[in-house]
Amino acid sequence: MFKVIANTQLSPNVWRLDVMAPRIAQIRQAGQFVIVCKGENCERVPLTIADASPKEGWISLVIQAIGKSTRQLVALQAGEFIRDISGPLGKPTELAAPGQKAVCVGGGVGTGVVHPIAQGLHAKGVKVVSVIGGRSKPWVFFEQELKRYGEVVVCTDDGSYGRKGFVTDAVREQLEAGGVDTVYAVGPVPMMRAMAQLTKPFGVHTVVSLNPIMVDGTGMCGGCRVTVGNEVKFACVDGPEFDGHQVDFDNLWDRLGSYKTQEKEALDLFLQECQCAKQ
């Protein structure tokens, strides 16, 4: 059993749960995740470890409430328990070399995923610029946390906070200014695909964190298979991070489309907004 010690709402549909998990906190690395099962007969939910304290023994999980299982998780209050947390799983992030410059891009709940990456880069001596986005000011979170590790650029669709526009606009300016060695992008599939297309002409290495349907987290079920560099990979054991220039985003999109989930609807909405902005 894993005790919840804090529950904080970050945006209209995103929460942060701090949970006591001492052994996981001791060994987790940037980019890794856990699979959480609230209780008997509950769904297994993969969640990135957004932060951790090896000394105090807690880990942080950033959860977007989009279905029954995630709504049950974010309803947990301090003092309540999660039955199972398995991990850390997945390969750690391949961090840029000391002295290099990296841009960490978070769209929506992806901001919670890039946080530990920025944290790891800063600790290694990498210059970090974080670009985060949301629909409007209430949807922006982790800004202050990311400022501990470097410059933060905030983008909102409606211009209610930070600069108006998409994260791709701000990243383009960073690329054009030069000196960027690696881009780490996490968010909806259309955003990650757009980021990979944006960085390719600049020859900047781009890492994306993929979000296919995942069940067991050990490569046994095959549900999280993706195509990278014309090879089949499993996001849970080969990733979840991959070279964005090698990912078959059409295949990933089709696989997500085979599941009628609210996540898919959210991705469709994001793509429509991008198209409207271009017109």
How high is the pLDDT of residue 26?
Answer: 95
Domains and CATH numbers, the chain: 2-89 (2.40.30.10), 101-278 (3.40.50.80)
Structure tokens that stand for 97 in this block: 């070399």
Report the chain's C-alpha Rg in angstroms.
18
Q: How far apart are CA 222 and CA 230, in angstroms?
A: 17
Contact 240, 110 (CB under 8 A): no
Render pLDDT for 58-101 as a digit per residue (tens, 0 to 9): 999 999 988 888 999 999 999 999 999 998 999 999 999 999 99
Q: In which residue ranges of the chain is pLDDT below 50?
A: 260, 262-264, 266-267, 270-271, 277-279
